[in-house]
Every structure is written in C-alpha cells, then in structure tokens.
Chains A and B, each alone.
Chain A
C-alpha cells in the first residue's frame, strides 16, 4: 500500500517563495511527481524525481530524499496565476502501474 501526505492549504503573497512538502510511504518506489491543477482543469506535469537531490526548472524546483520518504516543491517569484492545487504523486513499481496521487495542496497567492 501507499500513504502520501501533503498540507491541505497554503497561502503566500506575490513575489514570495513557497515550499510545499510531501511525505510518502510506499513499497517499490519508482519516482515522485508534482502536478499543478487549476480549478476545473486537467493536471499538468511539473516535475519528476527518481534520484535524491534537487531538480530545477525555471521558477519551480523539486527535491527528493528517498531515505526520508520526503519531497518538496519550491515555487519562487510567485505570481497570481500560481494559485492552484499542487499534487504530489508516487509511482510504485517499475512497470505496470500509473500514478498514485496525494490529496493535493491548494495554494492561494494574493497581491
């Protein structure tokens, strides 16, 4: 089985930096994903980590520690359009599985 935990809600202001944490317990870990989902829209892929360390992509970075079962998504220079739900998802097995999503963190960015 698997258990994925992330905060339900976070708030921040424009221009700030926010870190969204995700902890997971799973067997046969094979990758951690972050997706962004605006209300009423489909999830869009943000990042993928399978090895420990930091992956940077523009204003967004994602970090993974497999030994701690921990990841975070870092959003810099926040913009109003970053207000969305951020979903942490884990893939468990090498093949034959899809994504198991956490409950998501709703981020509200204010001016």
Chain B
C-alpha cells in the first residue's frame, strides 16, 4: 500500500464553523506533512510531524491546529477561517524526515464562505 488518503475531498465551510481534515497512511512512515496550495501556486509547507511530534510550524495562524493521534493519522483542525484560507490542502508522508521521497495525498479542496 503506497497510498496517502485524505478526507473529505471537498469541504465548504463558513467562517464560524469548526471542521477537520483527515490524512491517513499505512506505509509505516514516521514523518507527515501538511501543505497548502493556492490556485496556480506551488505547495507551501505548513506543518511537519516526526514520530508523532510537531517538528516544524511554518508560522501558521492558530486558526489551523494540527494533530497527530498516532503514526498513521494526521488531522488538521480548522476554526474561524477566512475566505483567503480557501485552497487545496495536501498531506504528504515520508519514511522519516531525512527520506527524500514524499508521497502526497490527493488533497482536500477547501472553500471558506
């Protein structure tokens, strides 16, 4: 199984809603990542988890809250988002933080209204 899955595929939420994005991999990878990608722009790193601990937070606003409940799961909790947060949110995983190949999930397309 070389797949990273993400749910939901699409999400529309209001600015007062609370929602969560989920990411799962069963490749035994110990590093997991959240990226944000706006239309026609490259992915931008948000968070890195290594061995279930937050390793990197790229100065992401607190309305985005990551969580890694176990080595296979990565969540991104969303609260009080702004319309400019609308984007494709990509999850990725790698063997560990030094491994060169990252496997990306299909992404969740988020629209904030």
Residues of B within 8 A of A33 (CB): 100
Residues of A within 8 A of B92 (CB): 98
Contact with B along A30-66 (1 / 0, CB 8 A): 0101000000011111001010000000000000000
Contact with B along A93-106 (1 / 0, CB 8 A): 01111111111100
Tell me if A87 is interfacial: C-beta within 8 Å of chain B: yes
Q: Would B106 and A42 count as touching, CB distance under 8 A?
A: yes
The segment out of B11-19, B36-44, B66-74 that lies at the interface is B36-44
Tell me if B90 is interfacial: C-beta within 8 Å of chain A: yes
Q: Would B104 and A98 count as touching, CB distance under 8 A?
A: no
Q: Would B98 and A98 count as touching, CB distance under 8 A?
A: no
With A102-B42, A103-B41 given, is the CB distance from A45 to B103 under 8 Å? yes
Task: Count A interface residues, CB 8 Å.
Answer: 23
B45 closest partner in A (C-beta): A98
With A43-B43, A43-B90, A103-B42 given, is the CB distance from A98 to B100 under 8 Å? no
Tell me if B97 is interfacial: C-beta within 8 Å of chain A: yes
Q: Which residues of A contact B (CB under 8 A)?
A: 31, 33, 41-45, 48, 50, 87, 89, 91, 94-104
For the complex with contacts A41-B106, A97-B48, 12 further pairs of A-B residues with Cβ separation under 8 Å are A42-B90, A42-B105, A43-B104, A95-B98, A96-B50, A97-B56, A98-B45, A98-B97, A99-B102, A100-B45, A101-B43, A101-B44
